[in-house]
Amino acid sequence: MRLALASGAATLAVSFTLYPLFATGAWFWYALGAILTVTALGAGASRFSIPDWAVLPAGLVGLTMYTTAAFSRDQAWLWVFPTFDSVAEVAALWALGFDDIQRYAAPVPASQGIIALTTAGVGLIALLVDLFAARMRLAALAGLPLLALFTVPAAVITEPLAWPSFIIAALGYLVLLLADGRERVNRWGRAVLARRQAGGSDSPATQPHVGALKLSGKRIGFAAIALAVLVPTALPTLSPNPLFGFGVGGGLGRGSNTITIPNPIAGLRGQLELPAKATVLSYTSSDAAPRYLRLWSLDTFNGDEFQMTAPTGRPEDRVGAGGRLPPAPGLSPSVAMRTNELGVEVSPDINRLEFLPLPYNTTSVDIEGDWRADRSTLVVFSTTELAAGQSYRVTTVEPEPTARTLDGAAAPPDDIKTRYLQLPDDLPEEIRELAVRETAGARTPFRKAVELQNWFTRRGGFTYSLATGGHGSSALIDFLMHTRTGYCEQFAVSMAVLSRVLGIPARVAIGYTGGTRVGDRWEVSTRDTHAWPELYFEGVGWLAFEPTPAGSAGQGSARVPAYTRIAEPSDDTERPGDTAAERNSEPDEADPSAAPATRGQGPLDREGTSSSTAVEEEFPVIAWVGVGVGAVALLLLVPAFARVVMRFRRLRAMSVPVAAREDVAVPYGRAVEVRSAGREGAVTRVWAELDDMLYDYGMSREPSESPRALARRLSEGNAFGPEAAEAVKRITAAIERLMFARDPGGTAVGAADLKLVRAALAASVGRRRRWRAALLPPSTLRRLGSVGTRLLDVFDRLESLEIRRATARR
């Protein structure tokens, strides 16, 4: 009976963890009904000694009737007996639920279908738990179905599960184990155990006394849960990636409900080499200018190639129907911006594509369906829709930064740095040297980026050719040092890598160039598939660069962004990009002070920006180990420090002048409430300090030892000199008077007495004990332990409340 109830409670506790999967709580009542049905059946079976084998079929029948009653009452006979129609209705509901689950991402709307599915699932789990725990008496094994239930939210939701929900689930399981343990001991008859002192309710001895056993079991259980919650917080974590796809949330599986991230790099050349040019999309823009349209944003570089971290689409980042995208990272409103509108029509004939081609930076997309934006990269994707045939309106806000703004960009934030500056450790040294050498003349990160772009497009003597291949570091070196022949992939990747070397956060965007103009529309074809680097500048955000040669000798529709055409030295006025070759021959270093962009900013400013570009010094591993060891040592010293602080505070408080004794009437309770003011406070502090001191030196006071007995023990047992013995006597006499006499009297105790006792104690123990008392004082740990005990006591009280109610019910 008890086991059946505990099984139900455990299932209920675990089913709480399903909460974040649903948008509303309606499902819960249905699931609760299923659990109650199973629990009632189980409890009834236990009560009336129904054979165990009959319970599973009975439970299934019960669940069926419950499902019928809950979801197809109208079709059923007498509401609960399933008929053909009702079964069909439930089956249809389930099918609908399956569809909904495919369509929606967590939290899913609580459609009737999903609720029906959830109810059936939870009910089955409850039945299994009951079967294992109450029928087969394998309560530990009942953890498996519970775990299965628990893994559903854990696997589906990208964010880590909230720890309270874990605690509730674990407590549920604990209740089950406790009930099982109790049942087991009860079968053995009376357990000979010492009663707990505080346990006032002496029930007649018909029931075995399992209190102590239960108590220790509970404490172990609570301690285990506490550890399970606390320890992981101290461990380094992996970024939480969902294990299985369920709705949107990324994932690299190829299931129908997951997004597919093709290898963009691999697909790039295939697209470019297609014999027949096929139109991918066409668009209009309000300013009639072309736009690069981005599909993917590749952020991780593993030494061979750039890859994309699976995007995460949270429900609140849903776009569509005028929904706004998350704000662009790093873009501050103070930068001049131009707003434009694009109308994009994607050709219905393109391959499976779950990402929307969008210009950067898009602020809103007006589109049908469940499309979501990734917060960090702003790529928009869907798990349920495809881009083919979509037409949508896009609002873009493009920053138009001046070279001066970019020169003055502050250092990027740490999260950007860690994610977008990461490079493999074995990156060849030549590449680093090259990056530094080719940008030697530039002072700010932005200038260096422009230098790099110029180097790729003009100075470096690079040739555009699709007839190259290979990835990896060697291919990178080949491309940069020797062949200098490649297509957009090599250019984009190389520039991103070199930028990262220089300390500029960089990523590679894959998408399409602006295409060609046909009438008032721009048409983008497979030939326009393109890769380009995006570099991060604080205050402006991500800016596209174009290292790939344009024009007929390069990627036809590639365009160098306007902001990279910075003013050259004053004698060389701004000219259109096609004359850039000339400008190249005169790099920036000619006369930095003459550059209009930096004029008037002064050396201070330049200094500031150059410091921000300093490449991060590599911290050697050994130093990290040292830091770790130091941190651990510091952590270990915390108790010792706390002890010293405590002693200092007590001694300092002793100098407080004498105050009148307040009448201390404690209605009930063993402790004497002593105001910590005046001499009484001083005496109790001395006493507390003495108590801690004794504990530290391993001569702790028994709870039944009176002050006088303590003084006797210390002066007789240990090699206390007459002075120290007198000091102990003084202290104990003072506390004795304080606690028990009508008049606390005027026995003076002070820090000197404590010091004497301390010295005597220290002399009477071994060196190891002395060190331990100083470095890892047990009294501090004891205080910590007592806090834990109090916490456990609270749990005990809660639990005993619950049991008392349960017994009252019976």
In the complex, the residues that contact other proteins under the rule CB under 8 A are: 194-195, 197, 202, 649-650, 664-666, 668-674, 676, 681, 684-685, 687-688, 702-709, 735-742
Smallest separation, CB 779 to other proteins (Å): 13
CA dist., res. 538 & res. 363, Å (int): 19
Spatial CA neighbour of 616 closest among 504, 453, 477, 494: 504
Smallest separation, CB 194 to other proteins (Å): 8
Smallest separation, CB 188 to other proteins (Å): 19
Residue 591 contacts residue 570 (beta carbons within 8 Å): yes
Residue 564 contacts residue 453 (beta carbons within 8 Å): yes
State CA 777 to chain mean position distance: 35
Residue 532 contacts residue 492 (beta carbons within 8 Å): yes
Taking the least distance from each CB to other proteins, the nearer of 54 and 672 is 672
CA dist., res. 326 & res. 336, Å (int): 19
Which two tokens mark 262? 């093709």
Smallest separation, CB 800 to other proteins (Å): 18
Task: Specify the DSSP element, H or E, that contains 648.
Answer: helix 621-653
Taking the least distance from each CB to other proteins, the nearer of 47 and 195 is 195
How many CB atoms lie under 10 A from the CB of residue 531? 26
Smallest separation, CB 303 to other proteins (Å): 59
Smallest separation, CB 807 to other proteins (Å): 21
Provide the residue type at 657 as one letter: P
Smallest separation, CB 751 to other proteins (Å): 16
Which two tokens mark 263? 């290898």
Residue 20 is classified by DSSP as G
Smallest separation, CB 660 to other proteins (Å): 17
Taking the least distance from each CB to other proteins, the nearer of 197 and 573 is 197
Smallest separation, CB 200 to other proteins (Å): 9
Smallest separation, CB 141 to other proteins (Å): 37
CA dist., res. 605 & res. 409, Å (int): 10
Spatial CA neighbour of 211 closest among 203, 168, 177, 2: 203
How many CB atoms lie under 10 A from the CB of residue 74? 9
How many CB atoms lie under 10 A from the CB of residue 630? 10
CA dist., res. 489 & res. 511, Å (int): 11
Which two tokens mark 713? 């023990």
Taking the least distance from each CB to other proteins, the nearer of 93 and 711 is 711
CA dist., res. 156 & res. 20, Å (int): 10
Which two tokens mark 778? 């047990």
CA dist., res. 420 & res. 570, Å (int): 34
Task: Specify the DSSP element, H or E, that contains 432.
Answer: helix 429-438
CA dist., res. 781 & res. 787, Å (int): 10
How many CB atoms lie under 10 A from the CB of residue 733? 18
Q: What angle do CA 667, 669, 672 make, to 5 degrees?
A: 90
Spatial CA neighbour of 376 closest among 413, 403, 346: 413
Taking the least distance from each CB to other proteins, the nearer of 667 and 766 is 667
Spatial CA neighbour of 255 closest among 100, 102, 99, 106: 102
Q: Is 515 strand, coil or helix?
A: coil
Q: Is 109 strand, coil or helix?
A: coil
Handedness of CA 507, 363, 559, 531 (dihedral sign): positive
Task: Specify the DSSP element, H or E, that contains 358.
Answer: none
Smallest separation, CB 257 to other proteins (Å): 60
Smallest separation, CB 784 to other proteins (Å): 16
Taking the least distance from each CB to other proteins, the nearer of 588 and 736 is 736
The residues, any chain, with a CB within 8 Å of residue 400's CB and separated by 6 or more, are 335, 336, 337, 338, 562, 563
Taking the least distance from each CB to other proteins, the nearer of 74 and 702 is 702
Smallest separation, CB 611 to other proteins (Å): 50
Taking the least distance from each CB to other proteins, the nearer of 288 and 672 is 672
Taking the least distance from each CB to other proteins, the nearer of 517 and 652 is 652
Taking the least distance from each CB to other proteins, the nearer of 520 and 702 is 702
CA distances from 546 to 40, 231, 493, 543, 566 (A): 70, 48, 11, 10, 14
Residue 544 contacts residue 557 (beta carbons within 8 Å): no
Smallest separation, CB 744 to other proteins (Å): 10
Smallest separation, CB 202 to other proteins (Å): 8
Taking the least distance from each CB to other proteins, the nearer of 400 and 705 is 705
Which two tokens mark 415? 């999260």
Q: What angle do CA 692, 695, 696 make, to 5 degrees?
A: 85
Taking the least distance from each CB to other proteins, the nearer of 318 and 650 is 650
Which two tokens mark 627? 């830091």
Taking the least distance from each CB to other proteins, the nearer of 220 and 659 is 659
CA dist., res. 426 & res. 303, Å (int): 8
Taking the least distance from each CB to other proteins, the nearer of 474 and 676 is 676
Question: Kind of pairing, strands 362-366 and 372-373?
Answer: unpaired
Taking the least distance from each CB to other proteins, the nearer of 309 and 706 is 706
Taking the least distance from each CB to other proteins, the nearer of 173 and 687 is 687
Smallest separation, CB 710 to other proteins (Å): 10
Residue 131 is classified by DSSP as I
The residues, any chain, with a CB within 8 Å of residue 231's CB and separated by 6 or more, are none
Smallest separation, CB 698 to other proteins (Å): 19
Taking the least distance from each CB to other proteins, the nearer of 366 and 691 is 691
Smallest separation, CB 737 to other proteins (Å): 8
Taking the least distance from each CB to other proteins, the nearer of 206 and 552 is 206
